[in-house]
């Protein structure tokens, strides 16, 4: 195998890729910071048992796991939420609530079925712990909308489809399906548009759902407006009241155009309990851009005392595809403001003095390290998008001056070294 081969399913980030990634991450940072969130981080490695939930979720069936040299079962994290739950549990009682935290972790998966698919991505995670009301869920939607606007996307490009796990909980509760069976049913229902009908019916019948129950579920999942939801679940349905309040708050935030009720949204993670949402492009060509929801009982399943929580995960890949199709990827420059060039080996030290002086004033300077022709230096300065070319030349330097060329205008001048 050639040594240029990386680990299957991983990506290299060349400087041009890194510029785009950093641009995207800055948008993630600013959108979270603009809403008062604080950044946190956790190790990429966790004890495997943090993810052994046994609800049939794809994410826990595709663990990138192994045994370490001490015989411990370890996994690369497939998602951030369990690490966050662990951190919150470890400081239970000591953290000021509600807490609003975000992170941009690299997450890993290892699927046996298909090759050639990515095994890592970066996933922006934004979470609120200790706030039980839909105000917190509305805040997450606002962070998302802030992000979409900041990258130039509009509500015509994409939609955040919203529902609540309580919709299915009420329907399934009346059929006697509760607790763990309810979570497992949600995981199967999430796959309804991805697997053949027979496979879904088989999995649902294992969970105690007959054909009539399946068609009841299907008709409820088809609901796209609050009127029909109320007709189906009744006026005092908790799901209806919850979603009604949530849409009211989203309206107050001026974000109504970005959201739509869609009862088919359940999400594939077992731990969701309340409002759930996902964003996708309006044309429906791409996979979901992000997804999230309320998970008030996750800590309980990890052996701690429950704490209300809600959050979303937002991968770095699908949104880039969407921005590409919409022509919204910006031209990102190298970021250097000045190129400094000493003409000839005799002026190498002078050029370093000049570069150091400009850098001490807070500018980003690329010093030409070797003897190059003037033509090469001009091309180089243009290619990296520098504003100025500072040339240290024998006669000028003898007078304590350098030659400065402003690249956009082409204007040239002689400047005292001290006043650069």
Q: Where does this chain bind ligand 4HU (CB under 6 A)?
A: 59, 78, 107-109, 118-121
**Minimum gap (Å) between residue 59 Cβ and ligand 4HU:** 6
| Whole-number Å distance between alpha carbons of 91 and 413 | 61
Give the residue with the Cβ less far from ligand 4HU, 153 or 269.
269
Q: Kindly tell me the burial class for residue 189, based on how many C-beta atoms sit within 10 Å of its own C-beta (0-12, 13-18, 19 or more).
A: buried
| Whole-number Å distance between alpha carbons of 45 and 64 | 10
The reply to whether omega before 235 is within 30° of 0 (cis) is no
Q: Kindly tell me the burial class for residue 297, based on how many C-beta atoms sit within 10 Å of its own C-beta (0-12, 13-18, 19 or more).
A: middle
Residue 261, beta-bridge partner list: 162
**Minimum gap (Å) between residue 117 Cβ and ligand 4HU:** 7
**Minimum gap (Å) between residue 287 Cβ and ligand 4HU:** 9
| Whole-number Å distance between alpha carbons of 137 and 35 | 13
Tokens of 281: 């492009």
Q: How far is CA 388 from CA 271, 373, 381, in A?
A: 55, 17, 8
Give the residue with the Cβ less far from ligand 4HU, 115 or 373.
115
Give the residue with the Cβ less far from ligand 4HU, 290 or 392.
290
CA dihedral 243, 290, 81, 264 (to 10 degrees): 40
**Minimum gap (Å) between residue 218 Cβ and ligand 4HU:** 26
**Minimum gap (Å) between residue 4 Cβ and ligand 4HU:** 22
**Minimum gap (Å) between residue 408 Cβ and ligand 4HU:** 41
Give the residue with the Cβ less far from ligand 4HU, 274 or 313.
313
Give the residue with the Cβ less far from ligand 4HU, 9 or 304.
9
**Minimum gap (Å) between residue 75 Cβ and ligand 4HU:** 11
Residue 99, beta-bridge partner list: 129
Do 158 and 148 form a contact (C-beta atoms < 8 A)? Answer: yes
Give the residue with the Cβ less far from ligand 4HU, 78 or 292.
78
Give the residue with the Cβ less far from ligand 4HU, 50 or 214.
50
- 285 Cβ partners below 8 Å, 6+ apart? 325
Give the residue with the Cβ less far from ligand 4HU, 115 or 361.
115
Give the residue with the Cβ less far from ligand 4HU, 239 or 276.
276
**Minimum gap (Å) between residue 61 Cβ and ligand 4HU:** 11
Upper half-sphere CA count for residue 198 (Cβ side, 13 Å): 0
| C-alpha 77, offset from chain centre | 15
| Whole-number Å distance between alpha carbons of 121 and 116 | 14
CA dihedral 30, 35, 39, 44 (to 10 degrees): -90
**Minimum gap (Å) between residue 376 Cβ and ligand 4HU:** 41
């Amino acid at each position: 195998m050639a040594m240029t081969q990386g680990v299957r399913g991983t990506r290299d980030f060349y400087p041009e890729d890194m510029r785009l990634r950093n641009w995207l991450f800055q948008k993630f940072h600013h959108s979270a910071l603009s809403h008062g969130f604080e950044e946190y981080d956790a190790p990429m490695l966790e004890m495997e048992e943090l993810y052994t939930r046994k609800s049939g979720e794809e994410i826990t069936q595709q663990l990138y796991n192994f045994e370490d040299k001490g015989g411990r079962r370890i996994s690369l994290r497939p998602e951030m939420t369990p690490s966050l739950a662990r951190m919150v549990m470890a400081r239970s009682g000591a953290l000021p609530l509600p807490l609003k935290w975000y992170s941009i972790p690299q997450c890993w998966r290892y699927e046996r079925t298909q090759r050639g698919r990515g095994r890592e991505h970066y996933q922006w995670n934004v979470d609120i712990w200790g706030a039980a009301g839909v105000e917190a869920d509305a805040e997450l939607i606002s962070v998302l909308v802030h992000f979409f606007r900041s990258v130039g996307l509009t509500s015509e490009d994409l939609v955040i489809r919203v529902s609540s796990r309580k919709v299915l909980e009420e329907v399934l509760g009346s059929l006697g399906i509760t607790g763990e069976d309810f979570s497992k049913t949600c995981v199967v229902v999430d796959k309804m548009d991805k697997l053949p009908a027979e496979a879904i019916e088989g999995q649902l019948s294992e969970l105690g759902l007959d054909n009539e129950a399946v068609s009841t579920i299907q008709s409820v999942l088809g609901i796209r407006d609050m009127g029909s939801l109320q007709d189906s679940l009744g006026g005092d349905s908790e799901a209806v009241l919850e979603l009604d309040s949530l849409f009211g708050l989203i309206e107050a935030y001026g974000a109504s155009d970005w959201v739509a009720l869609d009862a088919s949204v359940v999400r594939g993670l077992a731990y969701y309990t309340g409002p759930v949402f996902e964003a996708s492009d309006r044309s429906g060509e791409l996979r979901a851009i992000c997804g999230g929801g309320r998970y008030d009982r996750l800590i309980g399943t990890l052996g701690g005392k429950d704490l209300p929580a809600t959050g979303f995960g937002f991968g770095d890949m699908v949104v880039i595809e969407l921005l590409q199709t919409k022509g919204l990827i910006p031209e990102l420059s190298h970021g250097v403001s000045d190129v400094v060039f000493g003409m000839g080996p005799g002026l190498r030290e002078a050029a370093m003095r000049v570069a150091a002086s400009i850098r001490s004033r807070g500018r980003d300077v690329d010093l030409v390290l070797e003897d190059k022709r003037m033509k090469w230096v001009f091309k180089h300065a243009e290619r990296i998008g520098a504003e100025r070319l500072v040339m240290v030349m024998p006669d000028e330097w003898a007078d304590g001056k350098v030659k400065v060329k402003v690249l956009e205008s082409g204007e040239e001048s002689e400047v005292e070294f001290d006043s650069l």
